[in-house]
Structures are given as C-alpha cells and as structure tokens.
Structure 1
Amino acid sequence: MTRRDRKASHTLAHGKSPLPLYHRLYVILRERIVNGDYRAGHVLPSEADLMASFGVSRITVKRALDDLAEEGLLERSRGRGTTVTQAGASMRVGSPISASIDGLLTSLSVIGQGTSVEIDAFEYQPASPYVAEQLRIPAGTVIQRASRVRHLKGEPFSHSTSYLLESIGRSFTREDMITTPLIDLIQRAVTISQVQQAITCTLADTVSARLLKVSVGSPLLKLRRVFFDTEGRPVNFAEILYTPDRFEYRMTWSRNANNQLEVDTESAAVSL
C-alpha cells in the first residue's frame, strides 16, 4: 500500500462525511482518473487489493467501481479486470490557457505574504508519468514535491501540490517555504517568462477534504499551473485546490489594437 493510499484509507474510514462510504471511494478513484494518475488502458488493482488498501468491504468497492463504469470511465470484464477507458482518460484538462504574467506573479506573491502556510509534505521523489509529462522530463526523474495548506484568518482556503525541478528545489529549504511565497523562491533561481494555466472544478477527495476541512465530495475550484523559464523550460507544475466560498479568480479582458480581446496585464489578479 502506498503512503497516499494509507492516508486515503484512514480518512475514508474515520473521516466524518454525510456521503456513503462507496461514494467517497468513488470520488477518490474518479479524481485519480481525471488527474491522469490512471490513464487509458490502466488496469486498476483488483477488488481484493482495493479492499485491503482502503479498508472497506467488497460491496463498497464493487459499488464504487460499478458507478464509475456506468459513467463510462471504467470498463469491467472477466479475465482482464477493470481498466480505464479512453473516455475516462480524455476527461483530463487539455492544453492550459496562457495568461498575462505580471499581474499573476504579483498576485501570487501578495497572497503568500497575506496568509499563513502549513507544510503537509516536503520531499524528493521520482516523477510520475503524469508529472513528468507536464515538466517534459523522463518519468522517474527526481523532483521536489511539496504539499501546502494556506490559511486566511485561521481557516484553510487552499491546498496546493507543487512539483519542482530538483536543481531549483535544492536552492531552498522546507523552512523557507513557510516564510516565503514559493513564486519568490523560484524566481531567486530562475526568471519566469511564461505561465500556462487551466481552471476547472473538482470534488474533494479524502486528502483535500481533511486538509481544507470540508466533506468528501464538496465542490472545489482547481487551478493547474506550469511555470516556464526564459529558455521555455517547464520548471514548476502545480495543482491548487480552493474552497469556492473563500476564493475567486478575476481577470479583466480588454481589446487590443487589432480589436482582439486579451487579458489586461495590470488587472489579472486573484481576489479573496
């Protein structure tokens, strides 16, 4: 059992939620499909393995898998097991939109200075195929992974997981991340020239529910960001989950000289 599964298992079994146990497992597995952890053709662990990993009954596992299959995300067949369908894999957010950078970087720094942060994880580990794809590095390359929860007035409003090239990650410590916004730490090592971003929504799984103090299955706003240096190299990939009642993302669009709408560099901002 992986450490992530152990955490999910504990929260699944002991976390308070009005949702049935099978639906909480459904949310966890669905999120892994949408995130790209489970890709098209990926064979999920057997029912027995899922029972052992999450500490639930066979009925719970079967109900969760059946619901995912009914939604078209999984295909179940005797002999081959349970596999992720192409339709399930295609739910991944596609090419992220590009946004103006000056206002965005300023906003990220301001948010970091105006809130407190709790480090949930800070480690160096091999990049998964999905993360490696975002950073354009070979799968298994060592990267820095950091999981953080930001608090505003004592209450959590965001949970971010960042994946940073090891050479940049080694330039600061876990303690630095508590006192300094990550974007400022990164820019001490490299110059950020472009940010690609995708905005979508998701449901809280057991981990994000625990960290954000919401129920499993609660709606969350999800942002995916990739930061590029001046050579066009992706240096940081991050996924950030926000509670929608405490966060909104604002941008102003203006017409340029060619009568085309574009993001206003000065007004692209995060608003709390």
Structure 2
Amino acid sequence: MAPQKLNPSSSTPLYKQVYTILKSRIANGELKPGDKIPTENELIQEYGVSRITIRAAISELVEDRVLERAQGKGTFVCKPKDAYQADDSHGFTQSCYLSGKIPKTTLLTLEYVLPSPKVQSFLQLRDGEPTLLSRRLRFADNEPILIESNYYAPCLSFLEKEDLSGSLFNILHQHGYSIVTQARSLDVCTANKEEAALLNVKRGSPLLLFTDYQLDGEGKPLFFSKQVYCTERLKFYI
C-alpha cells in the first residue's frame, strides 16, 4: 500500500497528520494489535519529516493508548481492551459471553473467616460469627482479568459444596435467589505481590477495586464482594 502523503500547507501540524495516518493504518488493519510499527528512521524516510515530528506523533499515540513502548524492543500496537458494564448487572460470566469472550474461573481458596466490622454489619452477623469466604481468579479468553473475594451470608453456606468454577449468579438463580446490588463503589489501588503474580502484571501496577453489597429480592443481605480488576486488559462503560 502506497504511503499517504502529508500536506505541508495544511493548518494541521505535521505531527498531527502523521498521528492521523498511523491511527488510520491501525484502524484499517494494516497494522494489527501486537504488531511492531516501523522504526523512527523508517517513518522519517516514509513521510519526509523530522525526527521531532515523528516522536511527537508517536508520543501522542502512546498517551492515547493506541501504541505502547517496550524497552529495548520497539513500539507496538496496543491490544484492544475488553469492555464490560460498570454496574456488573449481568455478572462476569455473562459479561464475557456478551463480549464474545470465553470465561474461566479458578477457585483460589474457600474457607470460613472472621469478617471485618464492615462485612459483619452488612451480613448481620453476631460478634465472633465466621463467614464463608471464596477467592476466585477470573479469566477471559485465558487472560487473567480479576481477583474476586466474596463474603457470604449464613443462608448461602450451601456454596461450600457447590462448584464455584463457573457462574455464581447462575448457582444462586438455580437456588431461587435473585440478586440486587444495593451499592457499588469504585476505587483505584496498586497490585501487591500476590495480585501481580496472579494477574501477570508488575507489582505496583494500577488496578480498579470494585466493592459490591449484594441483596436478594426481599432486601436481605446475600454477600459482600471485592473485585480487583486488571486495567491493562479491559475498560468499563456506564
């Protein structure tokens, strides 16, 4: 494909024209996610502009997360992030299917623990009463996406004997429970050593933390949920 030409007489700065052309080459599939883009020298020769112009265009594409730099390797086209509804009304499994992804879940731990005061209050537990806690690693197309920690009300103790490697929403629906989100909050955190290893990111990488208070159809507490999402592989829409 013949390279698109720049227009030196245009009011649009040359770096912005290079930016637009490279973005167009990505959009039309000439450059695909994961592809290494031409070197600075190759782009200088292709478009007949200065190194400063090329670097400005690439820097803006990196800032817009269209491209990403790999130290000592070059600059690559970013893989598109999966999009999920921020209200999580479908649950993770169904959200994956709606996005054309294949979900998978690994149960990390399932045990009884003493809850924090906040969890105890929401689940209406007595002082010293333990709660069932499940920790699960969720995948989309074999990419680790989130770590989920659920603290269950006593009425859900039967989950101890259920297969939690699939959809929790489906299990609860099969037992006659409807799920209503009383409140959902969003915070930003950074990956600790364990989270970094499970999500295959660097320690200290930014993560999204969702906290959910889930009720049944009668307004009784079902479970308290904390979900830590990898920001490198997905985005949310509202």
TM-score interval, normalised by the smaller of the two chains: 0.5 to 0.7
| Corresponding position of 1:215 | 202
Cα distance, 1:184 vs structure 2: 1.7
Residues 60-139 of structure 1 aligned to structure 2 (within 5 Å): 104-111=88-95, 114-139=102-127
| Corresponding position of 1:157 | 145
- Structure number with the higher helix fraction is 1
Residues 159-178 of structure 1 aligned to structure 2 (within 5 Å): 159-171=147-159, 173-174=161-162, 176-178=163-165
1:229 & 1:202 partners in 2: Cα distance?
29
Cα distance, 1:145 vs structure 2: 0.4
| Corresponding position of 1:187 | 173
Contact 1:202–1:221 (CA<8 Å) still a contact in 2? yes
1:218 & 1:124 partners in 2: Cα distance?
30
**Structure number with larger C-alpha Rg:** 2
Of residues 219, 230, 234, the one that matches 1:243 is: 230
Q: Deviations over 1:99-140 (max 9, x none)?
A: x99x84325341466311111101122323232133232343
| Count of aligned pairs | 149
2:233 & 2:224 partners in 1: Cα distance?
23
Structure 1 vs Structure 2 CA RMSD: 2.5
Q: TM-score, normalised by structure 2?
A: 0.55
Aligned to 1:177, what secondary structure does the other structure show?
A: coil
Aligned to 1:148, what secondary structure does the other structure show?
A: strand
Q: Which runs of 5 or more residues in structure 2 are unaligned?
A: 1-84
Cα distance, 1:177 vs structure 2: 0.9
Q: TM-score, normalised by structure 1?
A: 0.49
Residues 25-64 of structure 1 aligned to structure 2 (within 5 Å): none
Contact 2:186–2:211 (CA<8 Å) still a contact in 1? yes
Cα distance, 1:142 vs structure 2: 2.4
2:214 & 2:125 partners in 1: Cα distance?
14
Which amino acid in the other structure matches residue 164 of structure 2? M
Of residues 231-240 and 106-115 in structure 1, the stretch that sits farther from structure 2 once superposed is: 106-115
Percent identity, aligned pairs only? Answer: 21
2:219 & 2:128 partners in 1: Cα distance?
21
Of residues 144-153 and 106-115 in structure 1, the stretch that sits farther from structure 2 once superposed is: 106-115
2:229 & 2:107 partners in 1: Cα distance?
16
Q: Which runs of 5 or more residues in structure 1 are unaligned?
A: 1-99, 252-272
